[in-house]
Structure 1
Amino acid sequence: MNISPSALFALILLSSQALVLDAVDVNAAFFFYKVRVNTGVGTSDLSAFNVAPTVSSAIAFLNDLPAFINNITSLESFKKSSFKCTCNTGYNGDGTTACADINECMVGSNTCHASATCTNTLGSFTCACNTGYTGNGTTCLDNNECTLATHSCHNLATCTNTAGSYTCTCNTGYNGDGTTACADINECMVGTNTCNASATCTNTLGSFTCACNTGYIGNGATCFDINECELGIHKCHPSAKCTNTAGAFTCACNPVGYSGNGLTCSDGAALTKTSRLWCAQQFSIV
């Protein structure tokens, strides 16, 4: 079998799990070598080894390594076929001269949730759910701050949950940012009330009320004129005529034989008789 002493010596060293980096044949006749090997901890020079294996022991050793026998032509070919260096997970390179960290966060090969933040580490990465979410970073669930009462909305505002956050809106009848302040809106003053034109608006906290004015009837939003004359709730004199007006009424004494303001009416004939009697008493008129 054609195998160089260097190759045979390399095989023997590898049988004891030593990686041959270099071998120099000093005396081929006596198989005397100076060998540099990788011990697994570091690289050391081991010199002056007299390794003169018997033919039978060498054949026995080679019979246990049939896969290597077919490929060995020299020490260098053996070194190339005996092992392969591969960068560890999370690193990229040829495995021999360089292994550079892979930034999984940048290249998009991480498994972080869409609502999580990826942080690169040497050879790996970490995932942390964003503010407003709960989970392990791979799975993130939205926190409902409104239900959990972890929001900062004003007590006169309404909390509305959103993805990863929430919004605060002042309740109807109030105005502000919903967080630091919600002030009452005076609907009567700013003209946002729905009172009837014949009603009076009264502001309340967060709202308002409407009351129909005197002479009208309704719920304040709708007001109808009261016809006091038809309903008989006016204050006109019996000898006066009642005339309905918007929200009120007028009284006028009957034009024939009466005088007054409509609320009080005097008989003109009776007044004349009374006046003549008074004059007679005063001036002895018969």
Structure 2
Amino acid sequence: MSQDPNTEADPKKVQELQKEVERLNREKAEAQAQAEAEAHAAAAAADEKAATEMRMKQELESQKIAADAKMQSELEAQRLAAKESELKQKEKQAVNKSRKRKIIGGIILLIILVLIVLAASASVQVQPGQATSYPYITTYGVWFPIGQPVDISGHTLIALADGNEMMFSADGSVTKLVRNQPITIGEQSARLTTLFGKVPLMTINYKVILEYQGNTPDNQAYFKMLIQSDKSIPEFAVKFLLPKNVIAQPMAS
């Protein structure tokens, strides 16, 4: 019985098939190895990228912290500089104010000294005047000490108490007084000067009218005094027209 040639394996073909299988297996293994290598390289690259990004992030954060610290330091330096400048400005202003106060104080003191000198050296010269018009009237309440001579405008007056009556002696002439009885002291001219008579201030023509009002419990005679003058008389000038032992207070006209 003869053998079927189709059923017998050809050694050569078998060998070729084996080689082909081996080649395919080898290519598969190489492809697999290459894929694993590429996957490993990709993983390594990803890790490197992540590490690089982390380092960059840390570096940026470090730079940001350093920049913030520098900015804070500069702001603090500016604040301190501004505060120091403000303190210096306030000190300068305080010095200027103190200097101004001293200057103003010195000027005020000088003015006060000048006024004191002017007041201390002021004087008045009274002499008989001529009849003229007197558009200004100044009214005072005055208290004369009873029994003491009083000089008003060059006239010596003495208020004498005699029981319930008032006697008024004017330049040696004694007159009996009743309440609201006027006594006129004639026209006078007063020249007010200062700096010991060297600087004239004003010349006033005036006359004095006294109206007896009664006695006080402390032994004084109270009069209403009207000063009629050709010009307004400053209140400070009135004291030069009255002696020291007469008390005078302005009254409403």
TM-score range, shorter chain: under 0.3
TM-score, normalisation: structure 1: 0.23
TM-score, normalisation: structure 2: 0.25
Greater relative contact order structure (CA < 8 Å, 6+ sep)? 2
Larger proportion of helix: 2
Q: Which has the larger radius of gyration?
A: 2
